[in-house]
Amino acid sequence: MNLMDKSEIKDIAKNLGADLCGIASIGRFNDAPKGHHPLDIYSKCKSVIVFAKRVPTGILYAESCIPYTYVNEAIAIEVNMLGINLCRILENVGIECVPIPSDDPSEYWEAENQHARGILSLRHAGYFAGLGVLGKNTLLINEKYGSMIQIGVVLVNIQLESDPMATYEGCLEECSICIDSCPQKALDSVTVNQKLCRELSNFVTERGFVLKECYECRKVCPNSSGL
């Protein structure tokens, strides 16, 4: 018998500030790469709680990339704290939890290809939990908020009912605006060439600040702020 049902958990997440929250069963992750399955992270995991906070859309249209960089860093911290606070509440009723970082740190790194992989694919977790669908720009697209969301995950040791996966269309079949607009030609509608992408998306200034200088694939998407 569960100590708390999924509706109670989702209400708690939303009271903590989540704009979206969904549940995915462990079975939905069967095709996860070796080492990046929820069970590789936490062997007792039975369900995956996925939540997200909306990112303000105005940062896409600023003439400077600094607002985009600063907001992305700040909201990642907000999402991480939301996950930690959710764990505290669930642990108070006897549920074991493991929070997953919304961004770095990560371990997997292919130096030659400049290819990183998070401990768990958050965009796929969001897809499995019904928060959205994967777009050609490789981002998760939510029906209400588009791709302007920051995702967080908590793994738990209790069985929860999964939410239905989204069935709406995130991208029109004939649309290729993100692929065509990428200045690095790093997109192919399925994945992203991180080596090409990083040259602009992680620009280091002379003072050592790392700026997200390019986010064109997000900016030009007709559904960046909702369908």
Domain CATH for 149: 3.40.109
pLDDT digits (tens, 9 = 90+) for 89-129: 999 999 999 999 999 888 888 999 888 889 999 999 999 99
In a domain, 199, yes or no: yes
In a domain, 146, yes or no: yes
Contacts (Cβ under 8 Å, ≥6 apart) of 103: 76
Amino acid at 199: E
Residue 196, domain extent: 6-219
In a domain, 1, yes or no: no
Q: Which of 155, 138, 132, 143 is nearest to 227 (CA)?
A: 143
The tally of CA atoms less than 13 A away on the side-chain side of residue 82 is 29
In percent, the amount of the chain with pLDDT more than 90 equals 84
Query: How many structural domains does the chain have?
Result: 1
pLDDT digits (tens, 9 = 90+) for 153-209: 999 999 999 999 999 999 989 999 999 999 999 999 999 999 999 988 888 888 989
Q: What's the whole-model pTM score?
A: 0.94
In a domain, 226, yes or no: no
DSSP characters over 38-92: HHHH-TT--EEEEEEEEPPGGGGG-SSSHHHHHHHHHHHHHHHHHHHHHHHHHHT
Burial class (CB in 10 A: 0-12, 13-18, 19+), 208: exposed
In a domain, 224, yes or no: no
Q: Is the bond preceding 164 in cis, omega lying within 30 degrees of 0? A: no
In a domain, 215, yes or no: yes
In a domain, 47, yes or no: yes
In a domain, 137, yes or no: yes
In percent, the amount of the chain with pLDDT more than 70 equals 99
